[in-house]
Structure 1
């Protein structure tokens, strides 16, 4: 039985290749940020619609629904903040190349 040699590692990427890959990733992050912002806007609309439709209702399920939407909005904001940090860190790295 013949043993094949281990696959060769590809050479280290050039600085230009690294920068290009990071640029692609930053664009993808930007696309994700746009989607997160759009989702946040839709959640805000849903909260307003729900609040208007159920105004005056003191039922605990209505309050729970509103609380869940508020939490979802906050988590989207946290997500967006995390992506901003990721972009900043990637840009700092590119600056060192």
Structure 2
């Protein structure tokens, strides 16, 4: 069985990976925002339903990434709570 120190070190390593994932999520959200702005500029004034659907889809993707980020924050909190109890 692993020692407390080994468990804490393993959790810390996992949390570092989560942090790297969070950075990737943030970068993806920024790129989606840029894409949405570019799309809006390129299709300004278009009343086509496909344009509205594209905007809505990008907004939904952004919300999904936000939900993912929130889940990682909760995971970090719970992991830290666990290691604090060791």
> TM-score band, normalised by the shorter chain?
over 0.9
TM-score relative to the length of structure 1: 0.88
1:63 maps to 52
Say if 2:6 is the partner of 1:17: yes
Runs (4+) of structure 1 moved beyond 3 Å? none
Higher helix proportion, which one? 2
Where in structure 2 are the equivalents of 1:1-97 lying within 5 Å?
Answer: 12-97=1-86
* Alpha-carbon distance in structure 1 between the residues aligned to 2:13 and 2:47: 49
Q: CA RMSD for the aligned pairs? A: 0.4
Q: What's the offset of the Cα at 1:28?
A: 0.1
TM-score, length of structure 2 as denominator length:
0.99
How many positions carry a matched residue from both structures?
A: 86
